[in-house]
Structure 1
């Protein structure tokens, strides 16, 4: 009689449990990094300190993040992916500008809850200010924004059946809306109300002025 060796199979739900455990560790590292960055500064915080705060090894930190910059901008990944998913779901009947508007507003509608799953909203707001005032993080964010603009341009071109290499409209539109987001972010950073809802309102107000600002007469009559 031939003996057979049974291959151990993962218990039902085991892979889901591992995924949730990994996500919890990543979230804990993100939270610890932001708390340290906002209290003692990005440049003065080490990877070892972040890992120690979560009681994991430096090696574990590098399983989730390649460097401190990536940990500092971890929630930017979340926001970007939510936005891209929202843009892909916009009705084909919407104009490119309206699709972008609704995708941004839709993302901000539910992003508070998504962020709160990882860190308190007020910590995210403080981290935003750290990014704005830290040259290394600001440089990394600008590079990421450029890459994100390329992804959005490709999606708008796909929606409209255009070749973004020969048709400049998707690229110009995305650049313009990106500029609006930067202007709205700057305005939001100066407001006493630094809530996510205020950021959403700031973007909507700035975008509403885009078309008349580009095509209208700026001079006061008689000036």
Structure 2
């Protein structure tokens, strides 16, 4: 059976959250956000080796939290880097099977549905680079350098989520090509290496918790369980 890895990137400082505590450690319905994210992958029915990428100065705090909450999801820790690109590249160093598939996921997205995870893993196992997306529901306008705007057809656009899933060899080769400030996610790294990216249906509940408003929404999602 093809081996699976999940690299969970948790390098945020919580600046937009306006909190002293990094956003990945903020309690969500009684448990740190990051624990809920790891637990979601551990229970999705697709066994995988989990690699958690954390800044060095957060790692001891994380270990204390694991003891305090009795957190038992197996995982290894890699050092966070200067940018998300460098953090993922550090995580890839712990992927020791080039024939595996690798998912890269934001540590502050605890609500990705299990069927989305399974769908993305299945597509990547067939040799494809896969990104989950959702449609745009609001109207969209493009801003020009002169401050003027114009409507654009929202049907042509998608909102990108994680986990983004790839064959391990493909992802490693893409990350070996070097860093660019234009990279916004793993799909952009792979595309820069000349590889086509395919889209999979995501779920709207799979929000990235980065602001106080996001945390309010996340608390409601936790209570309702509608994302499961």
TM-score between both structures, scaled by the size of structure 2: 0.29
Say which structure, 1 or 2, has more relative contact order (CA 8 Å, 6+ apart).
2
TM-score (norm. length: structure 1): 0.29
More strand by share: 2
Give 1 or 2: higher helix fraction: 1
